[in-house]
A = this chain, B = another copy of it.
């Protein structure tokens, strides 16, 4: 089945700064592992209440040699309010311990990685398989059970998942679930 359905190669992260890691992280370095990326903004309520605690749980639960959790600070609004200085304090206060990269500012409003992935908003959950293919890209909330199941399946080279870009939530701007780019 995997040979029939093809998945796109996940775009490389384009970042300007990292927290919780001594060296910058690139997806290329993580081949052989499942990579879970939580794209968030520090002032996005749905990220704070749901997405980030979930990412921390994944980081705490799965074996680090098989699953890597990354945060990606994809600021697309209130840029002056969510600088790296503010982010650093946020990471400290919310006890986030996984590596978090700052998505590089673009020429327009959207930061570069966010644009490359065509993310709809925050929080967005991205899952990349061991050979660097984009397998899950989801805007909004996913249950803890669902995301654990999806990650475990990929760890075991299980059934392929299609990207759920087609199942996107309706077009709303920043409610309790998250923030959309338009």
Residues of A whose CB lies within 8 Å of any CB of B are: 43-45, 48-49, 54, 57-58, 61-62, 77-78, 80-83, 85-90, 92-94, 143-149, 151-153, 155-156, 158, 174, 179
Partner of A174, one of B49, B80, B82, B93: B93
Interfacial chain B residues near A85, Cβ < 8 Å: 80-81
Complex interface: chain B residues within 8 A of A88 (CB) = 81
C-alpha gap A170/B90 in the complex (Å): 24
Are A61 and B145 in contact (CB-based, < 8 A)?
A: yes
How far is it, in angstroms, between the C-alpha of A20 and the C-alpha of B47 when the chains are bound? Answer: 25
Given the known inter-chain contacts A156-B152, A158-B156, please indicate yes or no for A145 contacting B58, CB distance below 8 A: yes
A–B pairs, 25, beta carbons within 8 Å? A43-B86, A43-B89, A48-B48, A57-B145, A58-B145, A61-B145, A61-B146, A61-B149, A62-B149, A78-B93, A80-B85, A80-B89, A81-B85, A81-B86, A81-B88, A82-B89, A93-B174, A145-B145, A145-B148, A148-B148, A148-B152, A152-B152, A152-B156, A156-B156, A156-B158
New A-B pairs, 9, CB < 8 Å, besides A44-B93, A93-B179: A43-B86, A43-B90, A43-B94, A49-B49, A81-B88, A86-B86, A144-B145, A145-B145, A148-B148
Contacts of A54 in B (CB 8 A): 145
